[in-house]
Structure 1
Amino acid sequence: MHPIPADDSSVIATLGDVTKRFGAVNALSGCSVSLRRAEVHALIGANGAGKSTLSRIIAGHIPRTSGTYRFKGEAVDFASPREGLTAGISIVMQETSIAPDLSVLENIALAEFGTRGRTRWNRMREKAANALVDIEQSPDLLHLRAGDLSIAQRQMIEICKALYNDSDVIIFDEPTASFSPLEVEQLFAVMRLLRERGKSLVFVSHRLEEILEITDRITVIRDGRTVATDIATSSITTRDLVRWMVGRDIENVYESAPQPQASASREHAVLDVRHLASAPLLRDLSFSVGRGEIVGLAGLVGAGRSEALESLFGLRKMQGGEVLLDGKPYRPETPIKAIRAGMGFIGEDRRRQGLVPDLSVQENLLLARLGRRRAWFTDYGTQTSAIDALFKDLDMPVHVRDVPMLSLSGGQQQKVLLARWLMLSPSILLLDEPTRGVDIGARSTLYRIIRKVAASGVAVVVVSSDFEEALGLCDRIVVMSDGVSVAEVPSHMLDPAILTMLSMPRSSARQMKAVLDDIAREIEGAAFWVQIERGRVFCLDLVERHAMQLGFAPTHFPMVEQTALRALWSADTQDGQVVEDGAVRAVKLRLVNASGHAFGEIGMSIPSNIDAAPLSRAARIVADALARHAITHIRVAIDTYQHEETLNER
């Protein structure tokens, strides 16, 4: 540990040797942390380690039992959340506190209604609109009912509250749990903006790759105690974080890598979904799952993934298409019918869709069993040995059977929800964000159990916004965009970057389509947007003025040597270099996003008997087309003017 000098002027808040007791339970037993202005400080630990408790003490939501707390150089003892908010501290909670029947505007400006004076709606609306623009959301959201938003949108509104209040310290408690990589990148852009404005940010997350990317310093809590604090993020590795968090190394969190295997044939599929539709988001989804197979539905928020699982489980009305179970027609009308047909379902929001907070752990665990039984009495006593065996497999103590459900950590709650369905021995398991808000130790256990369930012959469908998780856990990925299944790819062919680009909403992709249209028209040939990964061509879009038989397409991902442009992707070919490959001339350029990360390649191709002069201006043509269509988050990786000067010298 590296204590911060008391006279460090950058320090805005310091907590020393903080303890917190809830009755006989010690939630914190000696935590220390110092927060600096213009920094992002990670607060990490396993579920139940005390991160949320410490965050709530910082924000004034709960009092500490003992220890010291200094804010802006003064000793403080906040008596309420209002006092913390007034002092300049906001917290964005993992479980959103949205008032569902109020508008988005009223939720963002909620703190205003607890103050004296006349409500100034015009000023509130302007401030709220600015907060939405800061996080790249439309001000049109302001008039919507907050309860109608998706869980990811509700999380964005929580973030807007903190921006609206212009807090000096903003605590983000698992803000990305429901975000896809694209939304995570948008949030990180907001966090970088706030850091530049001198704000002190606290980032609580279980996604270790996010911690390493966005944070400046790290504090690790284990079992209510600080085990490492004020550590520069740049000086540590993922292995260090895991060891501090769980006290041991976890070599392979996914238990084992997905093995390449053929898709389940329609004739032998346990679940066969054909052109499934359910308004307003789900429009045309087709996929099949065989026994022992784990299939992922991947896409960005709004792609219709959750709606697909809810439709299959009878929670949403199926408005089009057909579903077959073991080759027989199935109409998912109600959850009871789905359960009795052999389906299990875990929703993305366990508070709203899974838990009954006033019931015990055992009562929550046996709810689905009660729903499937037709008897009027319970049979809890006969299930004790089965529950004990399940808890042992899930690394949970058996004595928690009779405790209130909400006394468990998020990871333990998720294990109980999984155990609920394992008690029924389902033939199909639908899992929506199965590890949302779960630490790496609990995730490792959940992955092991999911793989074990699949190995027993159960067909598993997984929705995950964590693309690393989807690729590590699933055998095949069905890519969804704007409610439509647009590709189906074995997971070993993909990486998160490719999956993100394949998942891009078609409304967003229209901008790139327009760019390719412009380029193809100018060169009188073909323009394409691709990602090359492990020798395979992933075509994200293609526009051809003349059919050129390039050998790849947006739904066909061949190896480089199987295409007509083998020379283009040779290791010796540089960006902007025109190559001739048989009857075709071509050139490629790397694209990067605003953060400098790779965003695929854009290429041009013309028949070899046509003048190649336009291809020598490829960088300028692409840059002009991007600017013409107001695409500012993507650019050509090379300097266009310098590149053209170099070519002219040659």
Structure 2
Amino acid sequence: MPAAIAGRHGGLAPMLTTQGLTKRFGAVTVLEAIDFELSAGEVHALFGANGAGKSTLSRLIAGHLQPNAGRMLLAGDPCRFRSPREALEAGIAMVMQETSLAPDLPVFENVFLPRYGGAGRCRFADMRRRTVELLEQLGVAAEIDPQARTGDLAAAHRQLVEIARALALNARVIIFDEPTTSLSPAETARLFAVMDRLRAEGCAMVFVSHRLEELFAITDRVTVLRDGKVAARGIPTADLTQGELIRLMIGRDLEPVRRDPSREIAPSGPPLLQVERLRAGPLLRDMSFTLRRGEILGLGGLVGAGRSETLEAIFGLRALQDGSIRLRGEPFRPRRPLDAIRAGFGYLAEDRRAQSILPDLSVRENLLVAALSAQRSPLIRYQRFRRRAAELAARLDLPPHRLDDDSMSSFSGGMQQKILLMRWLLLEPAILLLDEPTKGIDVGARAAIYALLRAVAAEGVAVLVVSSDFQELIDLCNRIVPVSDGRSIGSVPAELLDEEKLLMLAAPRSSMAAQRAWIDRMAAEHGAAGFWAIVERDVLICLAASPNAQDALGFSSGAVCPIAQSRVPRALGRADARGTIVEADGTATCLLGVRNARGHDLGVIGLSLAAGVSPARLAALRAEIAEAVAGQDNESILLTL
């Protein structure tokens, strides 16, 4: 394959150009002769494996690093930035993969922190007002208090504050370095809407991401880096397939990472971990689930739903206010992480820089820190750890000589994540708690991590996964527990879900308030039991139900159960039909389809009436339901019949 494949692109003025850009750290060349062109009004993807040089190139453009050779042109004029402030003053902003916020400052000051030290006065009232406007653009004004201490925010919310900072600068070039790693599909969609608006205004954007579906959804062109060199330059995204992009990245085809349920052995035996009615305020309100040996269980929800807080409570990082945890059938209440580690838990935190990496220690010392803390004996078996580390490095495609590095600071985010996963696997844990395990990971490394997690699960390890990538949960997990507003909503086999259905289950209950109120009102007015449900194969997933549904139908809001256990199995068995379905006992159910604005099937709304209702009344009722549903106006869930 030639060193660079030039793509077709025209009609847009170059905003930023690099010519022969080269960067060396000591004797190691990390970027070599990079030619790159970014046009006004486009989103240009930088794609490549971990360590390919994407973040280094981004930092060179943004003034965080200085090149050893080559030059840059901004709007046709030569430029050389000696600091990030010079780049900011020239109109270049960067959204970092690892946030660069000041944790002790409030959100609004972090958003406008680049203005400090510049010309003019900073008025707090104006900064707070503008911060609210920016958070509204990102759809999180109700979730993030502009005056909150930034260090107290969840990692995903800090990422959104970082994005708001870039927007506040009104920059003409914005580099997004893995901006969606902690964001849910809904939050990512809101970010993309903002990027579409910026593109229309002529802003030039660089987008770095390992998620192929995002590249194809938002970018205009793609430049691929491999081993610090350009493997493909400026190819229109529309001219590529996912397979071609992966081949350009790693030079070969990649085995599919999607799970095959038909080849898996279903976890069995008694629960290894039982979580019941867990509460640890303010975000974790009512969490219940079970986890068995050899099972991979996912917690699927949006930012602030209580997913990370659940893992922290189980690992002893968060004090419990109510509920119980049982480990191997016995009560378990860790007072500190060491209690959990010695009980057989491993925990991979979401924010690796703040919660996991010890930058002053070597790679091997970072690897051994958990294993050494778990030991009760003063005898340290270094040779055993060394052999196990070499084995894990091979399984994760990590060069074994990198384990001897003096620091992890030179590692890419993906390589750091592999080291941290190895840290816990060295303990040979019974239960792995993983919070965003593939954050900042390229598709090749992700496949290696998936394969390793499936292998350790096959050996009997129980795995509990939190991920904002809903497709990852579906591909990786046996079961998924949707989490909304700090509460668990049943447990669903992963093969019954897609991203749309999981998003509906995990949506904040407040976002369904209008639909729930409508179902309750219609049920009360007509003496019926109402529900909104998804039916997959023979399983019912109830999104909302009237208060009397449990008694009348045998299920309530949030229920996940076989349709045969309900009192309207005929109706649910024909959920793809429209009209009135009558049960053996005479109960009649009016069914209507639900679809969103993009035409995706969102299940059915049903209203069930007791036996003896006349056909004329049923027909009139169905017409009234259809008229009422068609009149609903909700941007997130459009009900069309």
Flag structure 2 segments of 5+ consecutive residues without an equivalent: none
- Of the candidates 287, 291, 298, which is equivalent to residue 285 of structure 1? 287
Contact 1:304 1:480 in 2 (8 A): yes
Q: 2:15 pairs with 12, 16, 33, which one? A: 12
Alignment correspondent of 1:214:
218
Alignment of 1:437 with 2:440, yes or no, is: yes
The question of 1:613 aligning with 2:620 is answered: yes
Give the conservation status (yes or no) of the 8 Å contact 1:255–1:448. no
Rounded Cα–Cα distance in structure 2 between residues aligned with 1:370 and 1:567: 56
Q: 1:249 aligned to 235, 249, 253, which one?
A: 253
Deviation, 1:110, is 0.4
Distance in 1 between residues matched to 2:478 and 2:27, nearest whole Å: 46
Return 186-195 or 300-309, whichever deviates more. 186-195
Partner of 2:24: 21
Deviation of the 1:539 alpha carbon? 2.4
Contact 1:343 1:427 (C-alpha < 8 Å) held by counterparts: yes
CA offset digits 1:70-116 (Å, max 9, x no partner): 22122222222112111211111110011000000100010111213
The 3-state SS of whatever aligns with 1:407 is coil
1:499 paired residue number: 502
- Distance verdict in 2 for CA 1:596–1:196, change over 3 Å: farther
Identity %: 46
Pairing 1:130-209 to 2, within 5 Å after superposition: 130-138=133-141, 141-209=145-213
Q: Is the 8 A contact 1:284 1:483 kept in 2?
A: yes
Deviates more, 1:444-453 or 1:153-162: 444-453
SS of 1:337's partner is: helix
Deviation digits for residues 234-263 of structure 1 (CA, Å, limit 9, x no counterpart) = 222221221111222123224654767666
Is contact 2:107-2:150 (8 Å) kept? yes
Report the CA distance shift for 1:390/1:566 in structure 2 as closer, same or farther (over 3 A): closer
Change (3 A) 1:17 1:537: farther
Residues 1:237 and 2:244 are matched in the alignment: no
Could you list the runs of 5+ residues in structure 1 that have no partner in the other structure? 639-650
Structure 2 match to 1:129: 132
* AA of the residue aligned to 2:91: G
User: Aligned pair in 2 of structure 1 residues 528, 261: CA closer, same or farther (>3 Å)?
Assistant: farther
Q: Partner letter of residue 226 of structure 2?
A: R
- AA of the residue aligned to 2:104: D
Pairs within 5 Å for 1:103-502: 103-138=106-141, 141-254=145-258, 256-257=260-261, 264=268, 268-375=270-377, 380=382, 383-403=385-405, 404-502=407-505
1:400-455 CA-partner distances (Å, limit 9, x unpaired): 22211122222221121121122222111111111111111111111111111111
Aligned equivalents of 2:20, 2:378: Cα separation in 1: 54
TM-score (norm 1): 0.89
Q: Distance in 2 between matches of 1:255 and 1:563?
A: 30
Q: 1:290 to 1:122 in 2, by over 3 A?
A: closer
Are the structure 2 counterparts of residues 275 and 567 from structure 1 closer, same or farther at C-alpha, using a change threshold of 3 Å? Answer: closer
Distance in 1, matches of 2:105 and 2:498, equals: 40
Please give the secondary structure, in 2, of the residue aligned with 1:541: strand
- Give the equivalent residue in structure 2 for 1:647: none
TM-superposition CA deviations, 1:300-340 (whole Å, max 9, x none)? 12121111111111111122222222222222111111111
| CA–CA distance in structure 1, aligned partners of residues 217 and 252 of structure 2 | 23
Deviation at 1:359, TM superposition (A): 0.6
Cα deviation, 1:57-76, whole Å, max 9, x if unaligned, reads: 22222222223422212222
Aligned residue type for 1:151: A
For residue 36 of structure 1, what is the aligned residue in structure 2?
39
> Aligned equivalents of 2:202 and 2:537: distance in 1?
42
- Structure 1 residue corresponding to 2:83, chosen from 54, 72, 80: 80
1:565 counterpart (571, 592, 595): 571
Query: Structure 2 vs 1, CA of residues 525 and 322 (structure 1 numbering), >3 Å: closer, same or farther?
Result: closer
Counterpart Cα distance in 1 of 2:78 and 2:35: 15
C-alpha separation between the residues in 1 aligned to 2:262 and 2:302? 22
Of 10-19 and 311-320, more deviation after overlay is shown by 10-19
Q: What is aligned with 2:96?
A: 93
Residue identity in the other structure for 1:59: A
Structure 2 CA distance for partners of 1:240 and 1:136, relative to 1, 3 Å: same
Q: CA deviation at 1:552?
A: 6.1
- 8 Å contact 1:217–1:233 — kept in the other structure? yes
Instruction: Give the drift of 1:523.
Output: 6.1
Q: Which is worse superposed, 375-384 or 161-170?
A: 375-384
One-letter identity of the residue aligned with 1:250:
L
Q: CA 1:616 to 1:146, structure 2 compared with 1: closer, same or farther past 3 Å?
A: same
SS in 2 for 1:634: coil
Quote the Cα distance in structure 2 between the aligned partners of 1:389 and 1:184.
36
Using the TM superposition, name which of 461-470 and 101-110 deviates more: 461-470
8 Å CA contact retained: 2:91, 2:171: yes
Given candidates 73, 92, 102, the residue that maps to 2:105 is: 102
